[in-house]
Amino acid sequence: MTDNSLITAKTISYKINENKLFHNLSFELGEGCALLIKGKNGSGKSTLLRIILGITVPTKGNIYKAASIQICYLGHKNALKSYLTMRDNIDLMQLKNHKELNYYLDLLSLKKHLDVTVSSLSFGQQKKLALLRVFLNTSKLLILDEPFVGLDDATHEQLTNFLSNELIMGKGLIFTSHIPCEIKADSLVLIN
Amino acid sequence: MTDNSLITAKTISYKINENKLFHNLSFELGEGCALLIKGKNGSGKSTLLRIILGITVPTKGNIYKAASIQICYLGHKNALKSYLTMRDNIDLMQLKNHKELNYYLDLLSLKKHLDVTVSSLSFGQQKKLALLRVFLNTSKLLILDEPFVGLDDATHEQLTNFLSNELIMGKGLIFTSHIPCEIKADSLVLIN
Amino acid sequence: MEILKVEFLKLRKKTRIWLGPILVFWLIMIAYPLTVELLQDKLQIGFFSVLWIAILISMMLATEDIFTEDYNDGSLEQTIIQESSFSTNIGLKVFIYWFLTGIPVSILSFIFSFGTTQNFGLSLSIFPLALISSYIFLNLFVLGNSLSLNKGSVLGAIVTMPIALPVLIVLGKSITALQFDINFEGFILLLLGSLSIIIVLVPIVVSYIIRAHLE
Amino acid sequence: MEILKVEFLKLRKKTRIWLGPILVFWLIMIAYPLTVELLQDKLQIGFFSVLWIAILISMMLATEDIFTEDYNDGSLEQTIIQESSFSTNIGLKVFIYWFLTGIPVSILSFIFSFGTTQNFGLSLSIFPLALISSYIFLNLFVLGNSLSLNKGSVLGAIVTMPIALPVLIVLGKSITALQFDINFEGFILLLLGSLSIIIVLVPIVVSYIIRAHLE
Amino acid sequence: MIKKFIHQFASPKTFLLQVDKFYGLIFFTSLCIYIFSIIWGLLFTPEDFVQGNSFRIMYLHVPASFLSQSLYIAMAVSSATYLIWRVKLAAYFVIAIAPIGAMTTFIALVSGSIWGIPTWGTWWQWDARITSTLILFIMYLGLISLHNSFSNYEKADKLLSWLVIVGAVNIPIIKKSVDWWTTLHQSASITLTNKPSIDPVMLYPLIGTIIGFFGLIICLILISSKNQIFIREKNKSWVKDYV
Ligand code: HEM
Ligand SMILES: Nc1ncnc2c1ncn2[C@@H]1O[C@H](COP(=O)(O)OP(=O)(O)OP(=O)(O)O)[C@@H](O)[C@H]1O
Ligand SMILES: Nc1ncnc2c1ncn2[C@@H]1O[C@H](COP(=O)(O)OP(=O)(O)OP(=O)(O)O)[C@@H](O)[C@H]1O
Ligand SMILES: [Mg+2]
Ligand SMILES: [Mg+2]
């Protein structure tokens, strides 16, 4: 465990009903580093992320996190309230008073739809709204589960640029993606 | 309208709350042809597909379908019951007795998970299960809304091959995708 | 009849949908004597009122999710794009729900009536009343739920209640008719008549409403 | 106290969560006089029984979705990964639900009691009883719901019923106590005592149950 | 043919321009009639020898009760027009009327209750007309909450219209059953149905208040419909010009 390590995993294994998902995984993530977790569908990428987050408990092994580290997480599910408007969801995510909110609403061209209920938004618009959580994050570590799903090319590029920038600023990033992207990252391949 | 046309759209327009989504679109799809609908997030691709299906009524214009044509549709939502196992869902989709079921379950490596409830499956596995509807379809026309989302590379390729093959067999295909794919298709770009 | 098979499969797996309302009905009927300090013979005074309310509530709970789930997961769209008659499907679906909740609840109504009144003839007459009224309530709540589809059961309840209250009044009336033995058949016929209209109209109206929702 | 703001915002927008149960309570209380053929003065015989059942049912409806929605859309995960105490959050959430449904329902209980019995003193005593019992019921149903979270099972109802019935019995007894003016305070204290234990334990137990669900 | 005709004359644009011509006229006449009759009624009619002065609440109660049902019928007609001929203006009317209908029904209930305290000695009675007014009030609430829960206006309009029509079918049923329930009610000692014929001295101002109230409510509906047009068609160029 080096000094600027954000997160360290030591020989973690995970089994479901005696089926091994992965075995004796170890890795370390330092500031400014990105880790891309790869693997086939069902190989356990999302499960690994949830273990890192501390939601799921590994069958064996341990996760060490830097003291009082804040994590920004976006999973397969958007954590949006589909019956509320975009504006209310932003309020719920407590991003209403964020000073860069306006900038990103413009960038993602969401501004026009602020008063549309989330369930009426297009798939990609919902994803973009969920990504506001990432764009406006104040955490040291980002954990993103397939953040590029459903985004059009322009938004894809914006997200890539943003994440690359965050890395330069010394944040940590762990993510999965089946879509190729240009973020410079180590990869960890799960084989099952 | 030519003889082997499966579907013909004549100057269709669609407005929501007085906002134009698209205006005076016309196209025709013949047997063995594919149409890729492109556009930014929220440009109205899914809406157009739903208009073609007859779920949404266009503000103006008409859709003509070949007489008694069967359509196989897969939207952003998987139409799966998350509290049932994969086996029960296959039963619900009425594919249990399909003679090629076993072949595709193997191909998509779903067989091992037949008795897992859908909510425990990985994102990609759920999508693959939903795609069984497409792989085992008996319709003349396929309408797919971003079918490649969340699939790993192997599955992506299998789906591309399958669809190309269906085209050779004379079926029609209308689909959307933000992920590049190798299916030979005309494209229709929605600008808003 | 594909729909019958499909719905039965879903309901077999999701027992809460039909077992839940039956349990709640049971809970209310048990709660009634527990919360009043009355001698056995006075117990029947409020009994039928509680019975009708219990049937109403259990049917409300039974229909709560009848379309919401299919709407949210995209299954409704799949149903709609298949050519087969959508309104017939809805009618059959309501029937299945009635079969799995209305009939057990009616049998329980008979049992509880007999337990409370010790009057076999009276209790036996409760059975058809419960059967018919539960079917009517189911249809009404289905209508309410289709309107409020993904907006939650409560909206459905507000929308339905004005239609349900008259049925409750008739039910209350028929108990008096039963007890004084005047024109009870008239009430049964009235309810049956309403039911036969409702059974035909509700699925049609609901199919239009759902189509409008999906648009 | 972030949670208070967030929950209030959600509830302000999704009025049906709290307005619905209140309306259903109201409708049950309206349905009662409509289904009985009683003179005004006999109306009170079954009245309190219906009142307690109505409170029970409305609290049940209020909690129905208390965690399911957050579980399904992924918000629960977001809550859990923030360090702040999860069980306190749950306790506060239950409190807010009680504030928005329990209190109005208690006020309505007072009004309906007064309308029916025309007895101001009696109706005034109903108010604290309704307040306490609604809070107890809320907690019980929250426990039940956390158990059956996404399981589509009746587990929640079955688990909650055995605990809810004794509360109903105590409520029934306290009405008698009130009417004969014997030891009414004793019952209030008993209920308050149970409530104070439940208020502490339920959030802790529920937080463990939910964590286990998410794993 | 009919369709074309209706569409031409029921376009929001025509409506908006016509309303402004008649609006002021309707408003001032009804306001005058109302104020005149209410002053007449309140100050210049003799005390009722049974009810004392409390009967004067009638000048609020009776017009409100009367309108609560008329407005529902108006909504039902508009709804049918919308569903059959797809006249957008009709849909605007429906949602413009709903809250006003709820308001008048509420006024009827509250003023009736207040009136009941001195006359019946109770503020509530499970009387036929009262019960059905209460049910009507619930229906209005249902309509409003249904419409509020959609952000897509076209969808909301369509569903609302369906509900209004289903409700309209239901209104006579409610009336029938409720009437029937109370007529069989052994204790129906007080009803609104068998009124002693009213003294002409009170009747004329009453008719005046009804007409005046009616006119004022129509003005409210016009304003509220205009408002709907602004909300719905705010992107149309002629609306921008108008504003
Ligand atoms: C559709 C509903 C209603 C209509 C059409 C209606 C109509 C009327 C009319 C025309 C009168 C005047 C009769 C007269 O001058 O003798 C009246 C009297 C009265 N109404 Fe209503 N009313 C309605 C609902 C209500 C409600 C909901 C309440 C109470 C909550 C109420 C309470 C009263 C009272 C206390 C009187 C005076 C009773 C009396 O003179 O004996 N009314 N109503
Ligand atoms: N209760 C269970 N019983 C059996 N297997 C289970 C159970 N719950 C989860 N699994 C399996 O665990 C794996 C979970 O994988 P996970 O969601 O982490 O995959 P993933 O790598 O994120 O895949 P994707 O790329 O599709 O998102 C799946 O293979 C799933 O079938
Ligand atoms: N009620 C509404 N009010 C306002 N706008 C709405 C409403 N319902 C839908 N829309 C808009 O209509 C568009 C719907 O687009 P659609 O879902 O067809 O997009 P899409 O091209 O499929 O996008 P994606 O690539 O993200 O899937 C969105 O821009 C959405 O904001
Ligand atoms: Mg995953
Ligand atoms: Mg789309």
Q: What is the mean pLDDT of residues B73-84?
A: 93
> First CA to last CA across chain B, in angstroms?
27
Contacts 24+ apart (CB under 8 A), C3-9: C3/C89, C3/C92, C3/C93, C4/C92, C4/C96, C6/B92, C6/B94, C7/C92, C7/C93, C7/C96, C8/C96, C9/B88, C9/B91, C9/B92
Task: DSSP letter for D101, please.
Answer: I
Whether E179 is in a domain gets the answer: yes
Whether E2 is in a domain gets the answer: no
Q: What is the mean pLDDT of residues B51-76?
A: 92
Judge whether residue D1 has pLDDT over 70. Answer: no
Domains located in chain A, CATH noted: 1-70+142-147+172-192 (3.40.50.300)
Q: What is the pLDDT of residues B139-175, one digit of tens each?
A: 999 999 999 999 999 999 999 999 999 999 999 999 9
User: Confidence band (pLDDT; 50, 70, 90) for E3?
Assistant: low
Q: At what angle do helices D120-148 and D103-117 cross, to 10 degrees?
A: 140
- The ipTM, to two decimals, is 0.86
User: Confidence band (pLDDT; 50, 70, 90) for C210?
Assistant: very high
Amino acid at B179: I
Can you give the pLDDT at residue E185? Answer: 43
| Number of domains present in the structure of chain E | 1
Any chains having at least 3 CB pairs less than 8 A from chain A are B, C, D, E
- Give residues with Cβ within 8 angstroms of B86, minimum separation 6: B110, B113, B114, B115, B116, B118, B121, B129
Residue pair A74/A37 in contact (Cβ under 8 Å)? The answer is no
Q: Residue with the nearest Cα to atom 30 of ligand 2?
A: B121
CB of residue B4 inside a 6 A radius of ligand 2: no
Distance CA C144, CA C165 (A): 14
CB of residue A123 inside a 6 A radius of ligand 3: yes
CB of residue E17 inside a 6 A radius of ligand 1: no
* Average pLDDT along chain E: 81
Can you give the pLDDT at residue B130? Answer: 96
- Give residues with Cβ within 8 angstroms of D85, minimum separation 6: none
Can you give the pLDDT at residue C13? Answer: 78
Domain edges within chain C: 2-214
Contacting E residues, span 147-186, partner chain A, CB-CB under 8 Å: 151-152
Mutate to test the pocket of ligand 3, among E147, E152, E154, E234 (most ligand atoms within 8 A of CB): E152
Q: Which residues of E touch B16 (CB under 8 A)?
A: 152, 154
Residue pair C155/E141 in contact (Cβ under 8 Å)? The answer is no
Residue pair E134/E106 in contact (Cβ under 8 Å)? The answer is no
Distance CA E203, CA E207 (A): 6
**Chain pair A-D, CB pairs under 8 angstroms:** 52
Q: What is the pLDDT of residues A61-85, one digit of tens each?
A: 999 998 888 899 999 999 999 888 8
What is the DSSP secondary-structure string of D102-164? Answer: IHHHHHHHHHHHHHHH--HHHHHHHHHHHHHHHHHHHHHHHHHHHHHTTT-SSHHHHHHHHHH
Q: Where are the beta strands (DSSP E) in A17-157?
A: 19-30, 34-39, 60-65, 71-74, 141-145
How far apart are the CA of D144 and the centre of ligand 4, in A?
Answer: 30
Q: What is the pLDDT of residues B24-52, one digit of tens each?
A: 999 999 999 999 999 999 999 999 999 99
Can you give the pLDDT at residue D115? Answer: 82
Q: What is the pLDDT of residues A82-137, one digit of tens each?
A: 888 899 999 988 898 889 999 999 999 999 999 998 999 999 999 999 999 999 99
CB of residue B45 inside a 6 A radius of ligand 3: yes
Amino acid at C201: L
Residue pair B26/B156 in contact (Cβ under 8 Å)? The answer is no
User: Confidence band (pLDDT; 50, 70, 90) for E190?
Assistant: very low
Residue pair E122/E130 in contact (Cβ under 8 Å)? The answer is no
Distance CA D188, CA D125 (A): 10
Residue pair A82/A118 in contact (Cβ under 8 Å)? The answer is yes
Distance CA C167, CA C176 (A): 15
Give the structural domain span for E208: 13-242
Distance CA B96, CA A192 (A): 28
Q: Do residue C151 and residue A83 have CB atoms under 8 angstroms apart?
A: yes
Tokens of E231: 């909300």
Element (DSSP H or E) covering residue B183: none
Q: What is the mean pLDDT of residues A167-180?
A: 94
Whether E4 is in a domain gets the answer: no
Q: What is the pLDDT of residues E177-189, one digit of tens each?
A: 767 666 544 444 4
- Give residues with Cβ within 8 angstroms of A110, minimum separation 6: A86, A125, A128, A129, A132
Range of weakest confidence among B157-166, C44-53, D96-105 = C44-53
Contacting C residues, span 148-207, partner chain B, CB-CB under 8 Å: none
Q: Which residues of E touch A120 (CB under 8 A)?
A: 151-152
